Amino acid sequence: MVFFSKVIARKKRSKAKLQIIFRNRVLFMLIIIIACFTLLLTQLFHLQINLHHKYSTMSDSNRIQLIPMPPTRGQIFDRNGVVLATNVPSFNLTITRQNTSKPVAEIIETLSQWVDISEQEINKYYRTDRVTARQTPVPLKEQLTEEEINRLSVNLYQLDGVDISSQLTRFYPEYNTAVHALGYVGRIDQNDMKDIEAKNIQNQYLTLTHIGKKGAEKSFEDVLRGTMGFEEVETNSNGRIIRRLEQTLPTPGRDIYLTLDMRLQKVAEEVLGDHTGAIVAFDPKTGEVLAFVSKPNYNPNLFVNGISHKDFNDLNSNPNKPFLNRVMQGRYPPGSTIKPQIALAGLEAGIITATSHINCQGYFQVPGNKHKFRDWRRWGHGKVNLYLSLVQSCDVYYYDLAYKMGITPMTDFLKQFYLGQPTGIDLLGESRGVLPTPEYKRLSFNQPWFDGETVTAGIGQSYWLTTPLQVNQATTIVAQRGQAFVPHILHSIRNPSTNETVINEPVPIEPIHVSRPEYWQSIIDGMVGVVHDNKGTARRIATGLNYKIAGKSGTAQVKSIAQNAVYNKDALAKKHHDHAWFTAFAPANDPSIVVTVFLENGGSGSGVAAPLAKEVIHAWMTGFKAPLQTPKTNAKAGE
């Protein structure tokens, strides 16, 4: 009995002990569960309350995005509708940084396994990427071949933010022709971005990678660019578009028509040939620029997608400076081309008359000074009046006139002709030139003015610096007897969506009034004699003409010649040869064209530049029906 009692007691104690252990374990598990729930609740609170805004924003941005839609750039045409700049489709490999999940360097390394990507393309990508918004696709490799497209298409699913995109690329079908007038587009760089930010128009360039860099492309950028559009899309977490929701279509850029006539432009380009120089032509009745040639030139298509280092270095190191727009940025002494305007100043000042004359012995001396200012014809011209002074381009006549008139009255009158002054053409980057005045010399060199500098200013030397554009405008004003227009190259603007066209109306200059209208005729008669008088410096070009050309030759000295020395072209380096000028209009009694030819270090104005001008004028006057002749030039012909 006692034995059973002990056994029962032990069982009871064992059961109680097990119950305690069980309770402790349950309690421990309960604590663990409570702790876990507490942690979960805390995290849930953090996510729902503290991070609600962050994840809500991320969710929305992952789901709905606004994608900028670039506008189509406007086209450029000549006055007759010849296409000068257009857009052609191309396929590019692009990276959109906003949508990438890997470092760009790693992405490029992967892509390089599928297509060849050069170091230059990689560097170009990074340069563009630095100034481009994150949401804008940046081209890594452009103008993909069909084989490259096929190879990429089966692999791109592996890379977020990488796409093959089709876009319109600028193309210049006339290549080098009129490049200095037309300009080109190129990739937006940091300098462009500064200008864009200064104008506060960043939103207009969100997805654009190109901008007008030079010429008409730059000058009319706001017209050609168009207005950005936007597309609202739904995307997945990898940034891939899964649904398109709404669009605000971009407004395409407007087309522009230039005043250039490509028929005349090509004639001028052909006759200028391999000469370094410029040819510019106006319609004198409107100020429209008909031809705009600067040589050497270059192919603008090289710049559209980024010019290679080799091509750029070849152009940039060319001693003849193909990037220089000689028509409106090249500054040169005008030489005798400005004698008509100086003669008009003398008539208006009463210093000369149409019949007064001097006796030219081949030199001029300032009273009290032994220095002899030589005429281009060393033995002189004899008895010279106004008419013969222009026909034979007598330097002594203009030395004497300039000295008697004085530098300030002379330059005050001549600046009305835009000599040494901006013409106001509607292309950006026009050079001012230099009007030779005592003030200019004092400010530039801190030196006084001397009488001898007035003397040489009378033949377009001294400190004179003008552009071919300025000389052509000065001649136009004479042709129009003081009533002319600001030169312009924009003819009209057309809206491609509505076909509405707005004409760019000519803007008149401040008229030049002289006291006696016959003064204009005296000057024009002398210029006609330059070509059609048997003593004229450019008489050789009169052959075969059934209309009258009024012109003026000019041979501008580059290197000073010692007092008693004779100019010997063959003994001088090419860069020291005289510049050749010829400026003219036709028909003389009712001009429809004004042309100026400038040949850098070209020699004789009448012997080299005049024959080229004749071919340009004759092509225009005959409606391009007469066959173009090879100009017969003579670099040693004299003035």
Report d(CA 410, CA 575) in Å as an integer.
Answer: 30
Pairing of strands 255-258, 76-77: parallel
- Find the range with the poorest average confidence among 125-139, 250-264, 312-326, 578-592: 125-139
Q: Which of 167-181, 462-476, 529-543, 572-586 has the lowest mean pLDDT?
A: 572-586
For 294-317, what is the mean pLDDT? 92
Residue 7: pLDDT above 70?
Answer: no
Active-site option among 336, 389, 393, 553: 336
- What is the SS3 assignment for 242? strand
User: Is 392 within 8 Å of 535 (Cβ atoms)?
Assistant: yes
DSSP 236: -
483: left (phi over 0), alpha (psi -120 to 50) or beta: beta
The residue behind tokens 């750039």 is 73
Q: Is the pLDDT of residue 2 over 70?
A: no
Q: What is the pLDDT of residues 117-151, one digit of tens each?
A: 998 889 889 988 887 777 778 888 888 888 899 89
Q: State the pLDDT confidence band at 174, using cuts at 50, 70 and 90.
A: very high
Determine what percent of the chain is predicted with pLDDT higher than 70: 90
- Helix pair 468-479, 339-349: axis angle to 10 deg: 50
More confidently predicted of 39 and 409: 409
Q: Rounded mean pLDDT of the chain?
A: 90
Q: What pLDDT, on a 0 to 100 scale, did the predictor assign at position 67?
A: 78
User: Which spans in 101-248 are helix H?
Assistant: 104-111, 119-130, 146-153, 179-182, 190-198, 215-219, 221-225
pLDDT at 16: 67
**Which of 59-73, 128-142, 172-186, 238-252 is least confident?**
59-73
Kindly state the tokens that stand for 70: 């670039």
What's the pLDDT score for residue 10?
Answer: 65
pLDDT digits (tens, 9 = 90+) for 398-439: 999 999 999 999 999 999 999 999 999 999 999 999 999 999
pLDDT at 244 over 70: yes
Q: Would you call 219 a catalytic residue per the annotation?
A: no
With bands split at pLDDT 50, 70 and 90, how would you rate the model's confidence at 44?
low
pLDDT at residue number 379: 94
483-517 per-position pLDDT tens digit: 999 999 999 999 999 999 999 999 999 999 999 99
Report d(CA 626, CA 628) in Å as an integer.
Answer: 6
- Residues in contact with 591: Cβ distance below 8 Å, sequence separation at least 6, in sequence order: 284, 285, 479, 480, 550, 585
Instruction: Report the predicted TM-score, pTM, of the whole model to 2 decimal places.
Output: 0.85
